[in-house]
A and B are shown apart, each in its own frame.
Chain A
Amino acid sequence: MTFTSVLQNIIKLLSKYWDVFLLKGVSVTLALSAITVCCGAVLGALLALMKMSPLRPLRWLVTAFVEVIRGTPMLLQLYVGYFIVPLMFPALGLGTFASISVALVINSAAYVSEIIRSGIQAVDVGQGEAARSLGLSKGQTMRKVILPQAVKNILPALGNEFITIIKETSLASTFFVGDLMTSYLIVKGATYLAFESLIIVGIIYFLLTFTLSKLVGAYERRLKQSD
């Protein structure tokens, strides 16, 4: 296995299977990541609010949930989603993709809820006090004073979560959902060129995450300037 032969094989694979990698693989990976982050953000925001509620049982529930999700392997969670979700909602006839998405969303929500909570709590306490001292209610203070400032802490961290999710969705290939890593499995199975396929997939993952992290970085710098 020389460098030239590897390079030749990569070119051969790309010309024959580019659609498997780029069209199917990348689009499913991005779709899965986008669904995960968007739904995860909504669910995570809800969890963050529950975690900050004055009701102790509610806070306890969220803490337990977050700890369980953070303390068990993602692959295990995907297996649980794969088996449990279709059983729980048999009427919906959910396929593998949907079940895996649900598991990913639940996993991401736990992490995002911590991002949002810490983003809100990072806003100076004095800001809330000043707003309350003017007579604003708790809700008004949250909407008009705390959240607009918390968003600046939260959005860059959410961008990084998106990057992490892109890499983690590769675990979903265990269930053959058609993501980039599944593309690798397909091409490897058809050609027996495991190493070359891996390199292609690796480069694509890197390009995706590298571009995104640069975008997040630029956005972060822009936010800093407006401080």
Chain B
Amino acid sequence: MTDTVLIETKSLVKSFGALRVLNGVSIQVHQGEALAIIGPSGGGKSTFLRCLNLLETPDGGDVIFEGQKINQKGTNVDKYRQKMGMVFQHFNVFPHMTVQENITLAPTLLKKKTPAEADEKALYLLERIGLLDKKDEYPRKLSGGQKQRLAIVRALAMEPDVMLFDEPTSALDPEMVGEVLDLIRALVEGGMTSVIVTHEMGFAREVSDRILFMSEGQIVEQGAPAQLLDHPRQKRTQDFLSKVL
């Protein structure tokens, strides 16, 4: 982890109708840091993550990525999203493309790579996750864990500066959680800046440098995994942890 701030948010506010989902969230994510976000459902974790790459538009506050405020009119959001990989709870692999095409689509379409380079990179990534023999299959033939690993390398093919994980194991059968967590762990250990919304407390403890506890649209508490999970200071954190641990 370095001192360079990669992503910063200042007083993010977001409402859906009358419901205020984010109520002034300010954080900094440093380059190379693995940040886990935990908290009760409906506490704003996913919405916050989706504000980082502007899949949700904040109603107020700033999202600053690599020194640039990106949530303002006239910003080419697509350009910044290319540097922010995202992994979804429900995988969202493209069912009408082969495994390999899933990976090469964005790099070739966005002219980041020639088709030959993109293919080479795709094969390398597939080899790494052990899905090389499935390269010409369609995603329907893959298991949930395989789909999620495909979704992760699809994002990696764009060579992003940060990876955003939105409950990446919540939709998986229990026996497939491990293989996906192993891949995320490998990425984090390789120095990939990561923001991980998760319900896997053990994983958050093991892999992250820092944990944020979010509830009711606010950061209630944050700290190093051992400190936050074992010695929570806030009442709300204690209540939550006593239910899930």
Residues in chain A within 8 A of chain B (CB atoms): 124, 126-127, 129-137, 140, 144-145, 148-149, 226-227
CB neighbours (8 Å) of A149 from chain B are 95-96
- Interface bits B56-91 vs A (CB < 8 Å: 1, else 0): 000000000000000000000011011011101010
Tell me, in angstroms, the Cα distance from A144 to B109 when the chains sit together: 9
The A contact surface, by secondary structure, is helix
CB pair B94–A129 under 8 Å, yes or no, is no
Among A130, A136, A140, A148, contact of B96 (Cβ-Cβ < 8 Å): A148
- Interface bits B154-185 vs A (CB < 8 Å: 1, else 0): 11001000000000000000000000000000
**B86 to A, closest residue via Cβ:** A133
Tell me if B151 counts as interface (CB < 8 A to partner A).
yes
CB pair B158–A135 under 8 Å, yes or no, is yes
CB pair A133–B85 under 8 Å, yes or no, is yes
CB neighbours (8 Å) of B84 from chain A are 133
CB pair A130–B78 under 8 Å, yes or no, is no
- Interface bits B189-202 vs A (CB < 8 Å: 1, else 0): 00000000000000
A130, A131, A136, A148, most chain B CB atoms within 10 A = A130
**B157 to A, closest residue via Cβ:** A134
Tell me, in angstroms, the Cα distance from A96 to B53 when the chains sit together: 57
CB neighbours (8 Å) of B55 from chain A are 129, 132-133
Known: A134-B155, A136-B105; 17 extra A-B contacts, CB below 8 A, are: A126-B88, A127-B94, A129-B88, A129-B92, A130-B86, A131-B94, A132-B78, A133-B81, A133-B84, A133-B85, A134-B81, A134-B105, A136-B106, A136-B109, A136-B110, A140-B109, A149-B96
Tell me if B140 counts as interface (CB < 8 A to partner A).
yes
CB pair A126–B90 under 8 Å, yes or no, is yes
**B105 to A, closest residue via Cβ:** A144
CB pair A132–B90 under 8 Å, yes or no, is no
CB neighbours (8 Å) of B81 from chain A are 132-135
Residues in chain B within 8 A of chain A (CB atoms): 53, 55, 78-79, 81-82, 84-86, 88, 90, 92-96, 105-106, 109-110, 138, 140, 151, 154-155, 158
Tell me, in angstroms, the Cα distance from A190 to B55 when the chains sit together: 69
**A152 to B, closest residue via Cβ:** B96
CB neighbours (8 Å) of B93 from chain A are 130
- 26 A-B Cβ contacts within 8 A? A127-B94, A129-B55, A129-B92, A130-B86, A130-B88, A130-B92, A131-B106, A133-B55, A133-B84, A133-B86, A133-B88, A133-B155, A134-B105, A135-B78, A135-B79, A135-B81, A135-B82, A135-B106, A135-B110, A136-B78, A136-B105, A136-B106, A136-B109, A137-B78, A148-B96, A227-B95
**A129 to B, closest residue via Cβ:** B55
> Known interface pairs A144-B105, A148-B96, A227-B95. Does A130 touch B151 (Cβ–Cβ under 8 Å)?
yes
CB neighbours (8 Å) of B96 from chain A are 148-149
Tell me, in angstroms, the Cα distance from A145 to B78 when the chains sit together: 16
**B112 to A, closest residue via Cβ:** A135
CB neighbours (8 Å) of A134 from chain B are 81-82, 85, 105-106, 110, 154-155, 158
CB neighbours (8 Å) of B105 from chain A are 134, 136, 144
Report B97 CB to chain A, min CB distance, Å. Answer: 8
CB pair A127–B109 under 8 Å, yes or no, is no
CB neighbours (8 Å) of A135 from chain B are 78-79, 81-82, 106, 110, 158
Tell me, in angstroms, the Cα distance from A130 to B87 when the chains sit together: 8
Report A94 CB to chain B, min CB distance, Å. Answer: 42
CB neighbours (8 Å) of B88 from chain A are 126, 129-130, 133
Tell me, in angstroms, the Cα distance from A30 to B79 when the chains sit together: 50
Tell me, in angstroms, the Cα distance from A132 to B105 when the chains sit together: 12
Tell me, in angstroms, the Cα distance from A137 to B79 when the chains sit together: 9
Among B79, B92, B106, B155, contact of A124 (Cβ-Cβ < 8 Å): B92
Report A7 CB to chain B, min CB distance, Å. Answer: 53
Tell me, in angstroms, the Cα distance from A103 to B183 when the chains sit together: 59
CB neighbours (8 Å) of B110 from chain A are 134-136
Tell me, in angstroms, the Cα distance from A124 to B94 when the chains sit together: 10
